[in-house]
Amino acid sequence: MVGRVLRNHQIVAKHQQHYTLVDFDTLSSADIQRLIALCEQKLQAYLDKRGHTIWNHPNNTNGYISGTVRYEVLKRAKFHCELCGIAADEKALEVDHIVPKNHGGQDDLSNFQALCYSCNAMKRDRDATDFRAIRASYGYREPGCLFCTIPPERIITDNELFYVIHDAFPVTLGHTLIIPKRHVATYFDLGQAEVNACTQLLHVAKARIEAMDPSVQGFNIGVNDGESAGQTIRHCHLHLIPRRLGDVEHPRGGIRHIIPNKGDYCSLQDESSQQASAAQV
């Protein structure tokens, strides 16, 4: 990848999804203009050498994919990578054959999928895996499931794969649930795209609670996964529970209190030490 090469040569630095020139702050306006002019010269030289066919989207063998087909495939994928789930505005998407042409794949709309450039580079033209089933699974809803049929007016906010509601039986004021739109029973069955979507909404919900109630000074975050762990609705959901000073007499131990007398482990250690000392006397 170009970005990796430039980083290896210490020309650019990467911060999350963005690249910046190393020591850019030390450049004068004249230096910046010279750099821009040099880049434009190099781009023009490349265009003169390769021609405008560089704008045609290549596949891994020959020919190119028409703009109409690319648009339809991207629209069908809702402009997200059909493997990792990243959005097109975060990482460029490529439309390519599911079954490669050198494996007999056809230029039919049903044989195309949208992958970000990273996922597509890893797939290459030897792999015929169809990731569209992953996209289709995001739309699955279980008949009769409470969280699959939540009334729209209860939804506080959402993104492509998750939504947020208030808990109907709140532990504290502001108790919020972050729930996948797809019917999935356990957190451990979530795909990476869903985990990313969940984390993003978790931050949104936290910021919303803090903005509405300055008395909130902490949070408990938890998932009841399985009947033995207390899960009552077999549709994965994450609890975000605001905490305030004094809302319980002894908060130490937090979620450890789900097992009686196991919360304040320091007191338990002190008690064990005292018992051990007494036994030695």
pLDDT of residue 15: 79
- Report how far residue 91's alpha carbon sits from residue 193's, in angstroms, rounded to the nearest whole number: 14
For strand 93-97 and strand 64-65, is the pairing parallel, antiparallel, or unpaired? Answer: unpaired
pLDDT of residue 78: 80
Name the residue among 201, 204, 208, 206 with its Cα closest to residue 179: 201
pLDDT of residue 261: 80
Are the C-beta atoms of 3 and 19 separated by less than 8 Å?
yes
pLDDT of residue 60: 43
- Report how far residue 172's alpha carbon sits from residue 185's, in angstroms, rounded to the nearest whole number: 25
- Report how far residue 9's alpha carbon sits from residue 41's, in angstroms, rounded to the nearest whole number: 21
Name the residue among 105, 110, 107, 147 with its Cα closest to residue 127: 105
Structural fold of domain 146-247: HIT family, subunit A (3.30.428)
pLDDT of residue 62: 45
The domains of the chain are located at 2-54, 56-137, 146-247
Q: Which one of 57, 237, 239, 257 is the catalytic residue?
A: 237
Are the C-beta atoms of 95 and 112 separated by less than 8 Å?
yes
pLDDT of residue 61: 42
Are the C-beta atoms of 158 and 198 separated by less than 8 Å?
no
pLDDT of residue 278: 57
Instruction: Read off the pTM.
Output: 0.55
Low-confidence ranges of the chain (pLDDT < 50): 57-63
Q: For 232-277, what is each residue's pLDDT tens digit?
A: 999 999 999 999 999 998 888 888 888 888 777 776 666 656 555 5
Q: Is 235 a catalytic residue?
A: no
Name the residue among 199, 194, 196 with its Cα closest to residue 240: 199
DSSP characters over 192-232: HHHHHHHHHHHHHHHHHHHHH-TT--EEEEE---SGGGT--
Give start and end residues of each alpha helix (H) in 77-153. Answer: 117-123, 132-137
